[in-house]
Amino acid sequence: MPAVVALLHWFLRLPGRARHGLALVLLALGSAALAGPPPAVIELDARVRPVVPLPGHAQFWIDSGGQLDIDAVARQGDALDWRPVLDEARYPLDGQVLWFRFRAHQQSAPQRWFIELMDSGIDRAVLYQRSGDGAWHRQEAGDAVPVPHWPVPGRLPTFSLTTKTETPVDYWLRVEHARVAYSAPIRLISGTPLAVSRDQEQFLLGATSACWPWC
Protein backbone atom coordinates (compact mmCIF):
# COMPACT_ATOMS: atom_id res chain seq x y z
CA MET A 1 0.00 0.00 0.00
CA PRO A 2 2.78 2.58 0.77
CA ALA A 3 4.19 1.94 -2.70
CA VAL A 4 0.80 2.67 -4.26
CA VAL A 5 0.47 5.91 -2.28
CA ALA A 6 3.98 6.98 -3.28
CA LEU A 7 3.24 6.23 -6.93
CA LEU A 8 0.03 8.26 -6.74
CA HIS A 9 1.89 11.23 -5.20
CA TRP A 10 4.52 11.00 -7.93
CA PHE A 11 1.83 10.96 -10.62
CA LEU A 12 0.07 14.00 -9.12
CA ARG A 13 3.34 15.98 -9.01
CA LEU A 14 3.86 15.55 -12.76
CA PRO A 15 3.21 18.59 -14.97
CA GLY A 16 -0.32 18.66 -16.35
CA ARG A 17 0.65 17.80 -19.92
CA ALA A 18 2.89 14.91 -18.85
CA ARG A 19 0.20 13.57 -16.52
CA HIS A 20 -2.37 13.71 -19.31
CA GLY A 21 -0.05 11.94 -21.77
CA LEU A 22 0.79 9.18 -19.30
CA ALA A 23 -2.90 8.65 -18.57
CA LEU A 24 -3.61 8.21 -22.29
CA VAL A 25 -0.80 5.68 -22.62
CA LEU A 26 -2.08 3.66 -19.65
CA LEU A 27 -5.61 3.77 -21.04
CA ALA A 28 -4.44 2.51 -24.42
CA LEU A 29 -2.48 -0.31 -22.81
CA GLY A 30 -5.50 -1.29 -20.75
CA SER A 31 -7.75 -1.34 -23.81
CA ALA A 32 -5.29 -3.48 -25.72
CA ALA A 33 -5.10 -5.94 -22.84
CA LEU A 34 -8.89 -6.23 -22.70
CA ALA A 35 -9.32 -6.60 -26.44
CA GLY A 36 -7.42 -9.88 -26.68
CA PRO A 37 -6.80 -12.04 -29.75
CA PRO A 38 -9.42 -12.85 -32.41
CA PRO A 39 -12.07 -15.35 -31.28
CA ALA A 40 -11.43 -19.06 -31.65
CA VAL A 41 -13.04 -21.02 -34.47
CA ILE A 42 -16.57 -22.27 -33.80
CA GLU A 43 -16.80 -25.88 -34.96
CA LEU A 44 -20.33 -26.42 -36.25
CA ASP A 45 -21.61 -29.95 -35.72
CA ALA A 46 -25.35 -30.29 -35.16
CA ARG A 47 -24.93 -33.82 -33.81
CA VAL A 48 -22.84 -32.48 -30.93
CA ARG A 49 -24.31 -29.01 -30.40
CA PRO A 50 -27.26 -27.89 -32.56
CA VAL A 51 -27.39 -24.37 -31.07
CA VAL A 52 -24.38 -22.19 -30.22
CA PRO A 53 -24.93 -18.88 -28.37
CA LEU A 54 -22.68 -16.14 -29.69
CA PRO A 55 -21.36 -15.01 -26.25
CA GLY A 56 -18.00 -16.59 -25.60
CA HIS A 57 -17.45 -17.24 -29.30
CA ALA A 58 -17.33 -13.77 -30.85
CA GLN A 59 -16.15 -10.20 -30.38
CA PHE A 60 -17.86 -6.84 -30.77
CA TRP A 61 -16.75 -3.33 -31.64
CA ILE A 62 -18.77 -0.10 -31.72
CA ASP A 63 -18.15 2.32 -34.58
CA SER A 64 -18.81 5.62 -32.82
CA GLY A 65 -19.01 7.54 -36.10
CA GLY A 66 -21.04 4.89 -37.87
CA GLN A 67 -19.12 5.54 -41.09
CA LEU A 68 -16.80 2.56 -41.61
CA ASP A 69 -17.83 0.07 -44.27
CA ILE A 70 -16.97 -3.62 -44.32
CA ASP A 71 -13.78 -3.04 -46.32
CA ALA A 72 -12.45 -0.63 -43.70
CA VAL A 73 -13.46 -2.83 -40.77
CA ALA A 74 -11.89 -5.95 -42.28
CA ARG A 75 -8.76 -4.06 -43.32
CA GLN A 76 -8.17 -2.58 -39.86
CA GLY A 77 -8.88 -5.92 -38.21
CA ASP A 78 -7.18 -6.31 -34.82
CA ALA A 79 -6.26 -2.62 -34.75
CA LEU A 80 -9.87 -1.91 -33.77
CA ASP A 81 -10.93 -2.23 -30.14
CA TRP A 82 -12.65 -5.61 -30.34
CA ARG A 83 -14.04 -6.92 -27.03
CA PRO A 84 -15.47 -10.32 -26.06
CA VAL A 85 -19.22 -10.75 -26.42
CA LEU A 86 -20.69 -11.45 -22.97
CA ASP A 87 -24.03 -12.84 -21.80
CA GLU A 88 -26.84 -10.31 -21.31
CA ALA A 89 -24.74 -7.45 -22.66
CA ARG A 90 -26.41 -4.14 -23.53
CA TYR A 91 -25.02 -1.85 -26.22
CA PRO A 92 -26.33 1.76 -26.10
CA LEU A 93 -25.75 2.78 -29.70
CA ASP A 94 -27.49 6.17 -30.13
CA GLY A 95 -26.43 6.68 -33.74
CA GLN A 96 -23.42 4.39 -33.49
CA VAL A 97 -23.01 1.09 -35.33
CA LEU A 98 -22.43 -2.24 -33.61
CA TRP A 99 -20.16 -4.82 -35.25
CA PHE A 100 -19.64 -8.47 -34.34
CA ARG A 101 -17.03 -10.79 -35.76
CA PHE A 102 -16.70 -14.55 -35.46
CA ARG A 103 -15.13 -17.46 -37.30
CA ALA A 104 -16.96 -20.72 -37.97
CA HIS A 105 -16.16 -24.02 -39.64
CA GLN A 106 -18.44 -26.83 -40.78
CA GLN A 107 -16.45 -29.89 -41.83
CA SER A 108 -19.47 -31.91 -42.92
CA ALA A 109 -22.79 -30.69 -44.21
CA PRO A 110 -25.62 -32.91 -42.88
CA GLN A 111 -27.51 -29.73 -41.96
CA ARG A 112 -27.44 -26.08 -42.87
CA TRP A 113 -26.50 -23.52 -40.22
CA PHE A 114 -27.87 -20.04 -39.59
CA ILE A 115 -27.30 -17.04 -37.36
CA GLU A 116 -30.42 -15.69 -35.68
CA LEU A 117 -30.89 -12.34 -33.92
CA MET A 118 -33.52 -12.81 -31.22
CA ASP A 119 -35.31 -9.48 -31.65
CA SER A 120 -38.04 -8.73 -34.18
CA GLY A 121 -37.56 -4.95 -33.91
CA ILE A 122 -33.97 -4.47 -35.11
CA ASP A 123 -33.59 -1.56 -37.52
CA ARG A 124 -31.06 -3.19 -39.82
CA ALA A 125 -28.63 -6.11 -39.64
CA VAL A 126 -26.15 -7.10 -42.34
CA LEU A 127 -24.03 -10.26 -42.41
CA TYR A 128 -20.85 -10.19 -44.51
CA GLN A 129 -18.52 -12.93 -45.65
CA ARG A 130 -16.03 -13.31 -48.48
CA SER A 131 -17.04 -15.19 -51.61
CA GLY A 132 -14.64 -17.51 -53.36
CA ASP A 133 -13.54 -14.70 -55.69
CA GLY A 134 -12.80 -12.36 -52.76
CA ALA A 135 -15.92 -10.22 -53.21
CA TRP A 136 -18.21 -9.57 -50.29
CA HIS A 137 -21.36 -11.66 -49.97
CA ARG A 138 -23.99 -9.59 -48.16
CA GLN A 139 -27.26 -10.62 -46.49
CA GLU A 140 -29.57 -8.00 -45.01
CA ALA A 141 -32.65 -8.03 -42.76
CA GLY A 142 -34.45 -5.87 -40.19
CA ASP A 143 -37.21 -3.27 -40.11
CA ALA A 144 -35.55 -1.26 -42.90
CA VAL A 145 -35.80 -4.22 -45.30
CA PRO A 146 -39.10 -5.74 -46.52
CA VAL A 147 -39.45 -9.22 -45.02
CA PRO A 148 -39.86 -10.93 -48.43
CA HIS A 149 -36.37 -9.65 -49.26
CA TRP A 150 -34.78 -11.18 -46.16
CA PRO A 151 -32.47 -14.14 -46.84
CA VAL A 152 -34.60 -16.23 -44.45
CA PRO A 153 -38.03 -14.57 -44.16
CA GLY A 154 -39.69 -14.82 -40.76
CA ARG A 155 -40.25 -12.94 -37.52
CA LEU A 156 -36.57 -12.72 -36.52
CA PRO A 157 -33.61 -11.55 -38.65
CA THR A 158 -31.86 -14.74 -39.73
CA PHE A 159 -28.96 -15.36 -42.11
CA SER A 160 -27.58 -18.53 -43.64
CA LEU A 161 -23.98 -19.56 -43.04
CA THR A 162 -21.69 -21.24 -45.52
CA THR A 163 -22.02 -25.01 -45.63
CA LYS A 164 -19.11 -27.46 -45.75
CA THR A 165 -15.77 -25.69 -46.25
CA GLU A 166 -12.13 -26.73 -46.15
CA THR A 167 -11.11 -23.79 -43.96
CA PRO A 168 -12.89 -21.64 -41.34
CA VAL A 169 -15.00 -18.75 -42.60
CA ASP A 170 -14.82 -15.24 -41.15
CA TYR A 171 -18.13 -13.44 -40.62
CA TRP A 172 -18.87 -9.82 -39.77
CA LEU A 173 -22.30 -8.77 -38.52
CA ARG A 174 -23.25 -5.08 -38.66
CA VAL A 175 -26.20 -3.90 -36.53
CA GLU A 176 -28.02 -0.57 -36.59
CA HIS A 177 -30.51 -0.03 -33.77
CA ALA A 178 -31.30 3.59 -32.98
CA ARG A 179 -34.26 3.68 -30.62
CA VAL A 180 -33.07 1.77 -27.56
CA ALA A 181 -29.94 -0.05 -26.41
CA TYR A 182 -29.32 -3.26 -28.33
CA SER A 183 -29.44 -6.30 -26.07
CA ALA A 184 -30.95 -9.11 -28.14
CA PRO A 185 -29.29 -12.53 -27.82
CA ILE A 186 -27.65 -13.88 -30.97
CA ARG A 187 -27.18 -17.55 -31.69
CA LEU A 188 -25.91 -19.91 -34.35
CA ILE A 189 -28.57 -22.53 -34.99
CA SER A 190 -28.72 -25.59 -37.22
CA GLY A 191 -31.57 -26.34 -39.59
CA THR A 192 -33.68 -28.73 -37.50
CA PRO A 193 -34.12 -26.60 -34.35
CA LEU A 194 -34.63 -23.53 -36.53
CA ALA A 195 -37.44 -25.29 -38.41
CA VAL A 196 -39.02 -26.37 -35.11
CA SER A 197 -38.78 -22.81 -33.79
CA ARG A 198 -40.42 -21.41 -36.93
CA ASP A 199 -43.21 -24.00 -36.77
CA GLN A 200 -43.90 -23.00 -33.17
CA GLU A 201 -44.02 -19.34 -34.18
CA GLN A 202 -46.54 -20.08 -36.91
CA PHE A 203 -48.67 -22.13 -34.52
CA LEU A 204 -48.73 -19.34 -31.93
CA LEU A 205 -49.48 -16.72 -34.56
CA GLY A 206 -52.27 -18.87 -35.94
CA ALA A 207 -53.74 -19.44 -32.49
CA THR A 208 -53.65 -15.71 -31.76
CA SER A 209 -55.35 -14.88 -35.05
CA ALA A 210 -58.01 -17.54 -34.50
CA CYS A 211 -59.05 -16.27 -31.07
CA TRP A 212 -58.96 -12.54 -31.88
CA PRO A 213 -60.92 -10.46 -30.86
CA TRP A 214 -62.27 -12.75 -28.14
CA CYS A 215 -58.96 -13.65 -26.46
pLDDT digits (tens, 9 = 90+) for 53-70: 999 999 999 999 999 999
Averaged pLDDT of the chain:
82
Confidence of residue 198 (pLDDT cuts 50, 70, 90): confident
In this structure, the chain runs to a length of: 215
Q: Give the pLDDT mean for 91-101.
A: 94
Please, are residues 136 and 69 in contact by the beta-carbon 8 Å criterion? no
pLDDT of residue 8: 46
Confidence of residue 178 (pLDDT cuts 50, 70, 90): confident
- The second-level CATH assignment, the architecture, of 42-205 is Sandwich (2.60)
pTM: predicted TM-score of the whole model, two decimal places: 0.77
Distance of CA 78 to the CA centre of its chain: 16
Confidence of residue 95 (pLDDT cuts 50, 70, 90): confident
pLDDT of residue 32: 39
pLDDT of residue 1: 45
